[in-house]
Chain A
Amino acid sequence: MKDRSETPIKIQLLVGAIILPASMMMSAAGQTFKSTSLDQNIVLLKESGSLAALCAKDPEIKECKFAIGEWKPNELERAKLEVPMCFDKCMLDVFGFYKDPDTSREIPAVRTKDFDGSAPSRGFEAIFYPVALSLFRYEGCAGCALIYQYPTKVVAILNSQSYSLPMLARGGYYIPSSLRRAMINSQNSPLTLQATTSEGDFTVNISAIATGEYTKMLRLLQYDKVP
């Protein structure tokens, strides 16, 4: 009698001992396959060297799964038919795919400038890519070398909301998903960038036209579908 009453408890313990670790393993495995935002993978993005390489490696990242890039060649070729294609550089404040003269890659970008009309040789140039921004200050004069300066910190302000842009490279900054989403939702709002350089702090104004073109790029490449 004693043995009979103890047997079910032993079996329960045995079953529990088998099921609990198995369920923990499944949970851990489940987390591995869970889709994460690119925001949580910035270090991996840098290590991979390109967004296309990262997406090829980890297609479960939300931006890779929902948006269009070189990892979805057919969709990308279709998207290219919607906008101008330019050699080297496209016009200012126009979304287009430009052909890199060195690599022949066709890269979507919006190039814009912020300068004082009375001194056009000094100002900021910003190039928007889907998830990154290139920003530098330029200063030139007739006959002297052009000097670039790269901000050591960039904060974007859109509709009184601040977004810190992590640094990816010299003059290269990551555009977080929250800012991308906010720009998609407020298509024609101008954007302000607070740039800190070794020469001081600067305010860079990005016009509504340029932000509108950037939003157009995000929509065409289906970044608006990224949850």
Chain B
Amino acid sequence: MKKQFLSAAITLLLSSASSPAFSQTGNLGISSGTTSQNSSQNVFCEKSLKSTVTRVGKAVLPEGYGDLKDIQLNSDFRFPKNDLPYSQALAFNDPVTGQSVGVYDQNFVPGGSKVFSSWQRYGISIGGYWLLTTGGGFSERIATFIPFEADILWISDGDSFLIVKGCNGRFTVTAEVAAALLKYPAGKNGYIRFSTEGTGSAVLSEIGKDTVQAWKKVYANWAPATPPKVESLGF
């Protein structure tokens, strides 16, 4: 039951990472030597008492994603059943944020800790739970699931690596992040490193080769454009 609750919580965490939000905007390139620092707007991380309203245009997928399953996100929190495939590029149609493309990944020890990640065109979310066990032997074995959300993400990028800061398990995908993920070698598992809220240690986590392959579609190089509608072409 507890595991089911955790699973539902993870589903909610991963469900809305498809926002085109604030992506690739506000990059302030400051470089010195071998390090560079870019900041980008991520309203999820704004922590102030100020009320704000941000308007974001709904995303529309360009041509080239016709072969993907198009998931209509029309079942809300009352139906946490989420049987969408992992490690497969999927198109999404969110009634609130518009169209997107992404891939889900999971990395786990059977019956133990689990890392869920959602790699969307405009946002990444990473969460999961750690399984801690105490007791055993002559005393009762107690398993405790501790949910977590990542807040810092390390991504390999050729001779360098990117440190991406987010919050509540969410990260904005900038052009630089997309390009780095696109560069991961195909046909091989990839690695990411992340730290979770409230801890300083960084965990190494493997990304399956199918997910790495799916990044080639998700982060393919295209500029947003609105393709014509079938009804307009047909009449």
A binding-site residues for B, Cβ under 8 Å:
45-46, 49-52, 69-70, 100, 105, 107-109, 127, 129-134, 136, 142-150, 152, 167-172, 174-175, 198
B33 CB within 8 Å of chain A: no
Q: Judging by beta carbons under 8 Å apart, are A169 and B63 in contact?
A: yes
A147 → chain B, closest Cβ, in Å? 5
Do B72 and A145 touch (CB < 8 A)?
yes
Given A147-B71, A147-B72, A169-B228; A107-B66 close (CB under 8 Å):
no
Contact of A69 with B69 in the complex, beta carbons under 8 Å: no
Return the 4 tightest CB-CB contacts between A and B, nearest first: A132-B234, A129-B234, A172-B230, A143-B79
Q: Does B188 contact A (CB under 8 A)?
A: no
CB neighbours of A169 from chain B (8 A): 63, 227-230, 233
Q: How far is the CB of B109 from chain A (nearest CB, A)?
A: 27
Chain A residue with Cβ nearest B230: A172
Q: Which residues of B, 18-45, contact A by the 8 Å Cβ criterion?
A: none
Say whether B233 contacts A170, CB under 8 Å: no
Q: CB-nearest residue of chain B relative to A76?
A: B235
- The residue that A133 contacts in the complex, of B69, B227, B234, with Cβ under 8 A, is B234
**Contact A145:B75 (CB < 8 A) given known A49-B232, A150-B70:** yes
Contact of B48 with A by CB under 8 A:
no
- Which of B81-89, B113-121, B176-184 is found at the contact surface with chain A? B81-89
Q: Bound complex: CA of A21 vs CA of B69, how far in Å?
A: 57
Chain A residues in 8 Å Cβ range of B227: 169-170
Selected from B73, B75, B235, the residue in CB contact (under 8 A) with A130 is: B235
**A50 neighbours in B (Cβ, 8 Å):** 228-229, 232-233, 235
CA A198 – CA B65 in complex, angstroms?
Answer: 12
Interface centre among A109, A127, A131, A170 (most CB of B within 10 A): A170
By a CB distance below 8 angstroms, the chain A residues around B235 are 50-52, 69-70, 107-109, 129-132
Of B75, B81, B93, B234, the residue contacting A51 (CB under 8 A) is B234
> A143–B75 contact, CB under 8 A?
yes
Q: In the bound complex, do residue A148 and residue B72 qualify as a contact, i.e. CB atoms below 8 Å apart?
A: yes
Which residues of chain B have C-beta atoms less than 8 A from A130's C-beta?
234-235
Give which listed residue, A45, A145, A170, contacts B73 with CB less than 8 A. A145
Given A131-B234, A169-B233, CB of A46 within 8 Å of CB of B228: yes
Residue in chain A with minimal CB distance to B228: A49
Given known A-B contacts A143-B79, A149-B70, A170 and B61 have beta carbons under 8 A apart: yes
Q: Does B231 contact A (CB under 8 A)?
A: yes
Query: What is the CA–CA distance of A24 and B82 in the complex, to the nearest angstrom?
Result: 67
Q: Which residues on the A side are within 8 Å of B79 (C-beta)?
A: 142-144
Given A167-B66, A169-B227, do A143 and B233 touch, yes or no (CB 8 Å)?
Answer: no
Do B233 and A172 have beta carbons less than 8 Å apart?
yes
* Given A132-B230, A146-B74, CB of A152 within 8 Å of CB of B81: no
For window 74-121 of chain B, which residues contact chain A by CB distance below 8 Å?
74-75, 78-79, 81-84, 93
B75 near A171 with CB under 8 A, answer: no
Q: Is the CB of B231 within 8 A of A109?
A: yes
Chain B residue contacts of A133, Cβ below 8 A: 230, 234
Closest CB-CB distance, B227 to chain A, in whole Å?
5
Query: Is B67 an interface residue when CB atoms closer than 8 A count as contact?
Result: yes
Q: Which of B61, B84, B230 contacts A168 (CB 8 A)?
A: B230
Please indicate which of the listed interface residues B61, B69, B71 has the most CB atoms of chain A within 10 Å of its own CB.
B69
Expressed in whole angstroms, the minimum distance between the Cβ of A153 and any Cβ of chain B is 10
Q: Which residue of A lies closest to B65 (CB)?
A: A170
Write out the residue numbers on chain A whose beta carbons fall within 8 Å of the beta carbon of B69. Answer: 147-149, 198
Verify B67–A198 contact, CB threshold 8 A.
Answer: yes
Evaluate whether A150 and B66 lie within 8 angstroms (CB atoms) in the complex, with A143-B81, A144-B83 already known: yes
